[in-house]
Amino acid sequence: MAGLFITFEGGDGSGKSTQSGLLTAWLQGQGRTVLASREPGGTDLGLELRNIVLHRRGHITPRAEALLYAADRAQHIATKVRPALARGEIVLQDRYLDSSVAYQGAGRILDPNEVRGLSIWASEGLLPDLTILLDLDADLGRGRLSERTQYDRLEDEEHEFHARVRAAYLDLAAAEPERFLVLPATDSIESLASAIRERVAGLL
Ligand code: TYD
C-alpha cells in the first residue's frame, strides 16, 4: 500500500491537533497504520530545537529562526517521515513547509520563495499529498489560546503578524488548489472532521 503524507496548517489555536486526532482514529479504524507527528519537535533533536525557537528569551534573527525550523524539518523528514511513508503508512503532520512560508516568509518578512526553497532543500523535496488548512481569524485563534501560560515567542507577536500569516496561508492555498483543502476553523468539530474524512477517503 502506498504511503500518504497529509499536513495540517492554520494559525495558532485553529484546532489542528483535534482534527489530526480524529482523523488518526478514523484511519486506524480503516485498518491503516498512522504516524501522527508535528513540527517543530517531532524528533529528539527537534524537541531541543523547539524549545529554543519557541521559548528562548532574547532576540533570534529572522534568518536564524528560519534555519532552526529548517533543521528541525530536515531531521524529522529524514528519520521519521520518509521511513514511515516507505513502509506504506499514513503520516498526519501538524505543520510543515507552509508554516515556514507563512510565519517566516510573511510574518517575519523574508523572501517567501527563499524560505520555501530552504524547506525543499531540508526535506530533499518532499511535498504533502494533501494539506488541510483550518482558516481562522487571527484574533479568534489567539483568544482560544489565552489560557495557555508558557511564554511563546511566536504566539506573542502582534495582530499584524498573525494577519499576515493568515493571508499568506490563503494565498498558498489559492496557488495550489489541488493540494489544499481549506475549511473555516469556526465550523463544528464534527462537520470539519467529516469534510476531512471525505477528502481523505478519495485518496485511499
Ligand atoms: P505549536 O505550539 O506547535 O502549536 P500550534 O500549531 O498549536 O500553534 O506552535 C508552533 C509554532 O511554531 C507556531 O506558532 C508556528 C510556528 N512555526 C513557524 O513559525 N515556522 C514553521 O516552519 C513551523 C513548523 C512552525
Query: Which sequence spans correspond to the domains of the chain?
Result: 4-201
Does ligand 1 have an atom closer than 6 angstroms to the CB of 137? no
Atom of ligand 1 nearest to the CA of 72: 24
- Binding site membership of 154 for ligand 1 (Cβ less than 6 Å): yes
Cβ of 98 closer than 6 Å to ligand 1, yes or no, is: no
95 lines ligand 1 (CB under 6 A): yes
Q: Supply the pTM of this predicted model.
A: 0.94
Q: What would the grid cell of residue 198 be? A: 471525505
Q: Has residue 154 got a pLDDT over 90?
A: no
Torsion of CA 115, 163, 139, 172, to 10 degrees: -60
Residue 135: partners with Cβ closer than 8 Å, 6 or more residues away: 10, 14, 166, 169, 170, 182, 183, 184, 185
Which numeric CATH code is attached to 4-201? 3.40.50.300
Neighbours of 158 (CB within 10 A): 8
3-state secondary structure of 60: coil
Cell of 10: 492554520
pLDDT in tens, 42-96: 999 999 999 999 999 999 999 999 999 999 999 999 999 999 999 999 999 999 9
Between the CA of 129 and the centroid of ligand 1 the distance, in Å, is: 20
Q: Return the ligand 1 atom nearest residue 103 CA.
A: 19
